[in-house]
């Protein structure tokens, strides 16, 4: 990600020990870890928001293309078919549980 070599990490560690001091270095590293975690969470949330926006934009574009191809009645046709399916399901009634005898011949 940042492409830091081991020699550069060693130099950063030596400077940190001199500047921060060996006594406060664990607390500083802990604070840096917490900060990094918060940044990762923030970037993940931003990425999810961007993905959701892109998904909505793609759906809008697909809907526009479908309406262009199918004409103005496309949405009405879809709703009509869904209503017919709901009527069929309601007419069938609730699903029946299988019989307890196993249905085998004796």
Count of structural domains, the chain: 1
**Burial per residue of 12-30, b for 16 or more beta-carbon CB atoms within 10 angstroms, e otherwise:** eeeebeeeeeeeeeeeeee
Q: What is the mean pLDDT of the chain?
A: 81
Distances (CA, A) of 38 to 25, 31, 42, 66: 20, 11, 6, 42
Whether 69 is covered by a domain: the verdict is yes
Whether 18 is covered by a domain: the verdict is yes
Tell me which residue has tokens 């998904």.
55
What's the domain range around 72? 11-81
Whether 99 is covered by a domain: the verdict is no
Whether 95 is covered by a domain: the verdict is no
Quick one: which of 42, 14, 16 has its CA closest to 29? 16
Helix axes 6-20, 25-70, angle to 10 degrees: 130
Whether 105 is covered by a domain: the verdict is no
Tell me which residue has tokens 């085998």.
104
Whether 98 is covered by a domain: the verdict is no
Whether 93 is covered by a domain: the verdict is no
Whether 106 is covered by a domain: the verdict is no
**pTM reported for the whole predicted model:** 0.47
Q: What is the pLDDT of residues 9-49, one digit of tens each?
A: 889 888 988 998 889 989 998 998 999 999 999 999 999 99
Q: Rounded to 5 degrees, what angle do the CA atoms 42, 44, 45 make?
A: 65
Looking at residue 96, its pLDDT comes to 63
Q: Which residue has the higher pLDDT, 81 or 93?
A: 81
């Amino acid at each position: 990600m940042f492409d830091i070599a081991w020699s550069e990490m060693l130099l950063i560690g030596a400077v940190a020990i001199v500047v921060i001091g060996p006594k406060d270095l664990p607390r500083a590293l802990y604070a840096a870890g917490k900060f990094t975690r918060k940044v990762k969470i923030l970037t993940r949330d931003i990425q999810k928001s961007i993905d959701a926006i892109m998904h909505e934009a793609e759906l809008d574009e697909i809907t526009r293309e479908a309406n262009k191809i199918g004409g103005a009645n496309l949405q009405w046709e879809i709703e009509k078919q869904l209503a017919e399916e709901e009527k069929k399901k309601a007419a069938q009634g609730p699903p029946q549980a299988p019989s307890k005898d196993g249905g085998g011949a004796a």
